[in-house]
Structure 1
């Protein structure tokens, strides 16, 4: 009888331990979600059109895959220990250092060719920034619930997710550098690797969904084609500035 009581107690203790560990794992996984975040509803009905059902199924896969990839969404996540390193990669694709570097090189450039390239890179970054902002305002897709705000996001508040600005910028800058500045195979591999890591960091940190990043990469790749078509040469810029100066002088002379 004592043996059966001991076995019952041990089983009861084992089940309690398993329940406690399961609750701890559940609490640890849910701690990465923002307070008050609600799960998206992808329920379907047979009365809905086939296109709507297919779209909901596609979005459900996108949500599931994005959650599985967000392994650095917070310190308690599966790969939370490398979160600072991933955030460093994320910062390398932010618009602030790229825009500051392009403007600084433009002002301190030693040759007209270098200044012309930096001028068009600056214009390309501004074009990318405006187009991404416009699309985000139009689509208004909320960021993933796993997203954790950091110091950088406090100064650059982002509410919408589609498309990923980091992904568009990574693809745009990678294609720009390979077309204008990079001429060796090793540097091309390095640039492509950087663009891939920046895009992957958006998924690891749960900043964006998979579709946000994929569309952003395609958008940034196509943006360079527009920049190439609207390329501003240094001679054209000087002509525009000279014409503007002439118009100002003429208006001043007429006013006198």
Structure 2
């Protein structure tokens, strides 16, 4: 009998689960709800209760320390955003590398070419001329000039060309404004838009509205007006210089101007494909002048 008790005691000592730190795995912790239950529990329950309190205090301390570390580092939300915002991508694709490299080159060259940005820059003496050249590609002079020419025109052929030019200008204005609102790319120097830019809805950098308008107008005039060779060369040169002037003023990137040129060609092709004939133009003019009588 004594030998069996000694063997059971030795087995209990060798059992890992009988150690104080593992007692909670063998039996659930019972919290006393009354004084009678505390007395009936025997001397083991205070030990379990004390150990559970130590475990709770230790867990609370570890949670507090982890929350403190997260608060010091900026919180768990910022830590979860680190790999996306502040860390380098470990396995970038070739396409991503090429696009990022081209964008970096575009931004660097655009800032280097912005010589007329400040009043004390290297291109400060030419700033007024470059500003005037860029203004020739603005939407307001072309729209108001087309309306004045249309009001003073007396020939059906001239009115037909001017009505289609006015529709092309409105199409270019709305398309570029919509794309700029969609992309919302800032310029290389991030200047706030001026008063005339707000009127023409030219608030962002991509695509360049002046470049698109200059190419569209030059192609339109070259296609519908009989001009000498020097004038034709001057029109091409004017469209190119309008785009360059916007880069020199720091308003657009080089890629913005290039996409503006392509968009201007697209607008010209679209207007030529849906060209309005003389009868339709006369109907539109009668509606615009409030002299339309469809019942007569």
Shorter-chain-normalised TM-score: which range?
Answer: 0.7 to 0.9
Work out whether residues 168 and 217 of structure 1, in 8 Å CA contact, stay in contact via their aligned partners in 2: yes
The reply to whether residue 188 of structure 1 matches residue 232 of structure 2 is yes
Match in the other structure for 1:170 = 214
Q: Quote how far apart the aligned CAs of 1:54 are.
A: 1.4
Q: Quote how far apart the aligned CAs of 1:44 are.
A: 5.4
Selected match of 1:228 from 252, 272, 276: 272
Work out whether residues 99 and 122 of structure 1, in 8 Å CA contact, stay in contact via their aligned partners in 2: yes
TM-score (norm 1): 0.74
The reply to whether residue 108 of structure 1 matches residue 152 of structure 2 is yes
TM-score (norm 2): 0.64
Match in the other structure for 1:118 = 162
Match in the other structure for 1:139 = 183
Q: Quote how far apart the aligned CAs of 1:97 are.
A: 0.5
Match in the other structure for 2:77 = none
Selected match of 2:255 from 208, 211, 214: 211
The reply to whether residue 76 of structure 1 matches residue 120 of structure 2 is yes
Work out whether residues 73 and 146 of structure 1, in 8 Å CA contact, stay in contact via their aligned partners in 2: no
Please give the root-mean-square deviation of Cα atoms over the aligned residues, in Å: 2.5
Runs of at least 5 residues in structure 1 that lack an aligned partner in the other structure: 1-40, 251-256
Match in the other structure for 1:65 = 109
Q: Quote how far apart the aligned CAs of 1:232 are.
A: 0.9
Q: Quote how far apart the aligned CAs of 1:74 are.
A: 1.4
Per-residue displacement from partner, 1:119-176 (whole Å, max 9, x unpaired)?
1110000000010011111111112226476664476574311000000001000100
Counterparts of 1:132 and 1:102, CA distance in 2: 19
Q: Structure 1 residues 234 and 202, CA, compared in 2 at 3 Å: closer, same or farther?
A: same
Counterparts of 1:102 and 1:234, CA distance in 2: 17
For the pair shown, the structure with the greater C-alpha radius of gyration is 2
Counterparts of 1:189 and 1:43, CA distance in 2: 51
Selected match of 1:197 from 241, 249, 252: 241
Work out whether residues 202 and 209 of structure 2, in 8 Å CA contact, stay in contact via their aligned partners in 1: no
Q: Quote how far apart the aligned CAs of 1:228 are.
A: 0.4
Counterparts of 2:194 and 2:281, CA distance in 1: 40
